[in-house]
Amino acid sequence: MLASANEPTLQPWTLPLLRLVSPGLPIGGFAYSKGLEYAAHAGWVRDEASAREWIVGILTHTVAQLDAPLFVRLYDALAAGDLERAAHWNAIVRASRESQELALEDAQLGAALGRLLVSLDAVTREQWADLPDASYVAAFALAAVRWDIPRNAALQGYLWAILESQTSAAVRLIPLGQSAGQRILEAGLTALPGAIEAACALPDDELGAVAVSLAIGSALHETQYCRLFRS
């Protein structure tokens, strides 16, 4: 059926955003659990309720307090062409990772997304080189700027990508059924508006997050004998 003349048309940036947050985007995000694998191994996360608490808790108390506000700053700096400022915030991202695995995950995903952007001619090799050692947060922000995706829409997409990736990992690790996964996603979606509002309002001197179980779990995952995920 053809679309009605009264139906809103897609914004030009809608499909690029969907492409950017798709789990099929070939940057290897499916290989990382951000410490969730050890949490499941240790029994900290063992069912739908504990998985929901872990995932939504990380989203609201860690990502919304650190990654998301840094995304906002990186987007604004890149949109303004302020590479010095972008490099500053990217360095803060890289320094904030609590374990070697989390630092490697950020660097590897950032590099993979950068290579993809270059291959798609979204940026030139020279432009990508202007943001050395780019984190995944910085690479995502750069993609959003190059594809003219509005900042808040890009931020929603970034948070959704994390939420979906973590839920997918929980479904495989615990394991959970698909319906349980959808209920966790629903809880995350309910929390997203507040996370976005908090991220956009957070002043520079309040940036930072503490997630002790995440840090310990990620560090212990480095020596976990049997692993499905790289983090």
pLDDT of residue 12: 87
Query: How many angstroms separate the CA atoms of 195 and 191, rounded?
Result: 6
Angle at 189 between CA 186 and CA 191, to 5 degrees: 115
pLDDT of residue 1: 43
Query: How many angstroms separate the CA atoms of 108 and 135, rounded?
Result: 8
Chunked mean pLDDT (size 10), the chain, 231 residues: 60 90 87 93 96 95 94 97 95 93 94 93 86 93 96 96 95 95 97 92 90 90 88 89
172 near 208, Cβ under 8 Å?
Answer: no
The full length of the chain comes to 231
CA distance to 63, 202, 221, per residue, from 197 (Å): 12, 9, 32
pLDDT of residue 25: 84
pLDDT of residue 226: 85
